[in-house]
Amino acid sequence: MANERYYDQFNREKYEKFNSIVEELPYFCNEYFTGIDSTTSVLTKLNYATDLSIFFDFLVHKVHGFVGKQIADITLKDIDEYISATEIEYFLRYLSFYTFKGKPYRNAEKAKARKLSAVRSLFKYFYNKDKLSQNVTAKVATPKLHEKAIVRLDDNEVEKMLDTVESEQKFVSKFQNSYNMNTRDRDIAIVTLFLGTGIRVSELVGINLDDLDIKNNAFKVTRKGGNVSVLYFSEEVKDALEYYLEWREQRLLKANRLDKENALFISLQNKRITVRAVENLVKKYTGVVNPLKSVSPHKLRSTYGTALYRQTKDIYMVAEVLGHRDVNTTKKHYAAIDEDIKREASTKVKLRKNDD
């Protein structure tokens, strides 16, 4: 499967993991996942299956009517008889600190809300199919989510980050500086592409060499949900990519892998770079720029979105470029910037005209 495209491989691996989890769930879950199959992505189904496995594990350990049962033996009749809104609320409290398969976990409001959403989806499905007499999850309030401040790099931090990646002496350790010189051209291209296009880390990792049209400053990305889009980049990004492509070709020629690896961005092992590796390199460089900011690739995406919104004042353009299916998602993330626009607008209308 060496020539399998990144997203095909990603989906296959997620499906395999999803199927292994579903096998451990009550049998009626097969009907549920079949029913939602055409309207949900594999990643959503995997997340739902994982969250439901935690829910059923909670039932057989904590809830009257289920304690002592095997998860596979739970029936819809059991759920209808023994679960009320109180048990769902108990589940949310339980999620604050719990043990699952021998490992301790803790969940804040966002993680609790996601698990509640998975349970609600299951109950709603079977209630609509007349296989549950009531949907008790509809009576349970969603945990209140506290909005986190959007972390992004300031303009001077963007310049400092690019300078840091390009610098030969950026770390205290001589060994680390020497090591990072081996990946400098690649890392510059990755950081520049993030800051110059706002793509997601999964989109960057998934780019193949034949997705890149360097002549026309364009490339294809597979968005969330599987949609393919063509994005464009500036001459500044093009320069970084061209330097990197020379580095990439030399590495693969030396390793006799030039025709064997189609991934655009490769590791020092000459294979497709991983999401974790990209996250680590971004964290490494931003740690030099501003140790007080926890910056991930997604924060570089926010940095780009902020810069684009400030330049264009067009929220719909930002939504289109970032691949947001709902412009309200874009508004939610960049609403704070509206204050800049409002402040600027306050100076545009003059109530009295000055006499010459």
Residues with a known catalytic role: 200, 224, 298, 301, 324, 334
CA-CA-CA-CA torsion sign (257, 259, 260, 262): positive
* CA max distance for the chain: 90
In this structure, the number of other CB atoms found within 10 A of the CB of residue 106 comes to 9
C-beta pairs of 318-327 under 8 Å, 24+ apart in sequence: 321/197, 321/198, 321/231, 322/198, 323/200, 323/221, 323/223, 323/224, 323/227, 323/229, 325/225
Inter-CA distances, 226 with 8, 202, 278, 316, 323, Å: 10, 12, 21, 21, 11
| Dihedral (Cα; 124, 130, 131, 135), 10-degree rounding | 40
Chain mean position to CA 238: 25
Q: How many CA atoms lie within 13 A of 250 on its CB side?
A: 10
**For the chain, what is the radius of gyration of the CA atoms?**
25
What DSSP assignment string belongs to 177-233?
A: HHHHHTTHHHHHHHHHHHHHH---HHHHHH-BGGGEEGGGTEEEEE-TTS-EEEEE-
Which tokens go with 176? 């680390």
Which tokens go with 124? 């709603």
Q: How many CA atoms lie within 13 A of 165 on its CB side?
A: 23
